[in-house]
């Protein structure tokens, strides 16, 4: 069965994950150069079975037509270049009330870096969210992640400063 395609851009097809993507998921998230930017306590994916579990969890999350954690399938290479996500941000860790904030994010294999694929996939996710009625979308990035900070700027996102509001880590927040 073909995975559900969420949206397409010039160079990528953004879709649900398949079990066949497990090796690529493991290859992406086993790398410190990718995983070091993720979560309050970054760690690499430990084993191939973890990739199967995360694909199942992501696809369960993808049941909502607006939100998801999706595979970015590059047409030119006929392979998964990385992940793009559009998800509700977690409840604020600073004790303030949640205002239904939504986050766009991206995680790409190093062999896909530097070609504008993250920007293209994230721009598509933002358009997907706006078409569905979202009025604003955040990105939250570790302050020393120069590549992702540059993606935020290319997307036309506005910096709203550093915050520890989400994920129990100090992050640069951007808004579009």
Phi then psi for 82, rounded to 5 degrees? 170, -155
Reported as a single tens digit per residue, the pLDDT across 146-156 is 999 999 999 99
Residue 94 pLDDT:
65
The pLDDT confidence band at residue 20, using thresholds 50, 70 and 90, is very high
* Cβ contact 56:105 at 8 Å: no
pLDDT confidence of residue 33: 97
Q: What is the mean pLDDT of residues 40-52?
A: 94
Check residue 95 and give its pLDDT. Answer: 65
122: CATH: 3.40.630.30
Full DSSP string of 65-134: SS-EEEEEEETTTTEEEEEEEEEEPPPPTTSPPP---EEEEEEE-GGGTTSSHHHHHHHHHHHHHHHTT-
Q: What is the pLDDT of residues 97-113, one digit of tens each?
A: 677 899 999 999 999 99
Q: Count structural domains, the chain.
A: 1
Task: Tell me the mean pLDDT in the region 75-82.
Answer: 96
Of 50, 40, 52, 15, nearest in space to 90 by CA: 40
pLDDT-derived band at 167 (thresholds 50, 70, 90) equals confident
The residue with tokens 């290479």 is: 77
Buried/exposed 69-81: b ≥16 CB within 10 Å, e otherwise: bbbbbbeeeeebb
Structural domain span for residue 153 = 5-175
pTM value surpassing 0.85:
yes
pLDDT class of 51 with cuts at 50, 70, 90: very high
């Amino acid at each position: 069965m073909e995975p559900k395609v969420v949206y397409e851009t010039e160079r990528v097809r953004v879709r649900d994950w398949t079990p066949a993507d497990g090796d690529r998921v493991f290859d992406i998230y086993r790398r410190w150069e990718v995983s070091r930017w993720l979560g309050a306590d970054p760690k690499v994916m430990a084993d191939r079975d973890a990739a199967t579990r995360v694909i199942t969890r992501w696809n369960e999350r993808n049941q909502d037509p607006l939100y998801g954690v999706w595979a970015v399938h590059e047409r030119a290479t006929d392979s998964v270049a990385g992940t793009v996500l559009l998800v509700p941000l977690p409840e604020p860790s600073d004790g303030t009330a949640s205002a239904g904030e939504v986050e766009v994010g991206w995680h790409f294999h190093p062999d896909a870096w530097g070609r504008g694929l993250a920007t293209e996939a994230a721009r598509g996710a933002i358009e997907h969210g706006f078409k569905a009625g979202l009025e604003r979308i955040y990105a939250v990035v570790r302050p020393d992640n120069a590549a992702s900070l540059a993606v935020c700027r290319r997307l036309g996102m506005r910096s709203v400063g550093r915050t520890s509001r989400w994920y129990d880590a100090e992050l640069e927040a951007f808004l579009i």
